[in-house]
């Protein structure tokens, strides 16, 4: 359960990334019936810290506050890659993981997790400008350079700025379900879910681009996920030739129509598994996969787990009764 969150700050912290953590986990949204976290900003290096923007931050909380946290989140900072870290902090992070807590980094905060040895043997990421250096400094880490965020067991790492929002909402979604995560995202006026492994993925709600010629067709595709859609059908809906449509689609979404449809169908299956008691066969039909076997195949490929295991994780064992 996610109840107690600590944002761990080092000198020259970046205010935006700290603000992401404060916004997601530190704001009281109980008026909307949303969870309230016991949130604290923790200093790793004394009561007052400099930001890279030239002002200081003070907090009464020191490293001892980390011992009770369910989640320790490290925002980005300047020169994180070429500095020494307090051994007390590195040990506190190791103890946290050992007792079952989770740790999260935003952007260059991954360097601190690497220094604690928490990235060894794990998939991870950081801002694209830092991935090569992170891999060089921590050769046992499996650095993925072009993704938004990576969730590998108790360690979550994210790329720069807005990717920290995606990773934080991912944790809220895991802890409290999609309805809560969507409500938090709505309050923040951000997309409720961007898949971590798809750096170019355009998530719901669908944003308009400066040259948006396929936006209407994207919305139409979302409403017809249960049907078999061909490139010819999609091109006709957009009043283009198939070749022009495929080119425009790639330009404006960063992916192909097939991959976009596949990801949307998996997302819809996730939502139905979390929020309904429909059987996997029924969900397969509603999401355009046709059969439970096809749904299971794509689910495992995309998420590394089966639909039944996913439902059990998000809704508990009782949700499997009659839903296999």
Contact 123, 146 (CB under 8 A): no
Q: How many whole angstroms separate alpha carbon 288 and alpha carbon 292?
A: 11
Cα-based distances in Å from 263 to 93, 139, 237: 34, 32, 20
Measured at the CA of 33, the angle between CA 32 and CA 37, to 5 degrees, comes to 105
Q: Is 124 a residue of the active site?
A: no
3-state secondary structure of 114: helix
d(CA 288, CA 261): 9
Contact indicator for 93, 118 with CB cutoff of 8 Å? yes
Q: Are 275 and 302 within 8 A, CB to CB?
A: no
**Helix or strand run (H / E) with residue 72:** strand 71-74
Query: Could you give the residue numbers annotated as active site?
Result: 107
């Amino acid at each position: 359960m996610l109840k107690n969150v600590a944002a761990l700050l080092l000198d020259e912290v970046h205010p935006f990334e700290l603000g992401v953590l404060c916004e997601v986990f530190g704001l009281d949204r109980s008026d909307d019936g949303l969870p309230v976290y016991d949130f604290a900003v923790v200093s790793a290096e004394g009561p007052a810290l400099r930001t890279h923007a030239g002002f200081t931050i003070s907090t009464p909380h020191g490293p001892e506050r980390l011992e009770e946290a369910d989640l320790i989140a490290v925002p980005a900072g300047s020169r994180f890659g070429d500095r020494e870290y307090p051994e007390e902090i590195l040990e506190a992070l190791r103890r946290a993981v050992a007792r079952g807590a989770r740790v999260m980094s935003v952007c260059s905060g991954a360097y601190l997790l690497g220094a604690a040895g928490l990235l060894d043997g794990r998939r991870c990421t950081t801002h694209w400008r830092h991935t090569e250096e992170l891999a060089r400094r921590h050769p046992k880490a499996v650095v993925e350079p072009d993704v938004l965020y990576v969730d590998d067991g108790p360690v979550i790492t994210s790329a720069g700025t807005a990717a920290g929002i995606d990773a934080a909402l991912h944790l809220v979604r895991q802890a409290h379900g999609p309805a809560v995560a969507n409500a938090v995202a709505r309050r923040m006026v951000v997309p409720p879910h961007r898949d971590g492994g798809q750096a170019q993925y355009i998530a719901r709600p669908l944003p308009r681009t400066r040259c948006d010629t396929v936006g209407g067709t994207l919305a139409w595709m979302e409403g017809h996920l249960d049907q078999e859609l061909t490139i010819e059908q999609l091109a006709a809906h957009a009043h283009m030739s198939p070749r022009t449509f495929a080119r425009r689609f790639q330009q404006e979404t960063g992916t192909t129509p097939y991959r976009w449809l596949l990801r949307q169908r998996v997302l819809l299956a996730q939502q139905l598994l979390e929020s309904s008691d429909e059987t996997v066969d029924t969900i397969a039909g509603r999401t355009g996969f046709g059969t439970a076997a096809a749904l299971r195949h794509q689910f495992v490929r995309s998420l590394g787990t089966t639909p039944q295991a996913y439902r059990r994780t998000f809704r508990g064992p009782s949700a499997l009764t009659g839903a296999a």
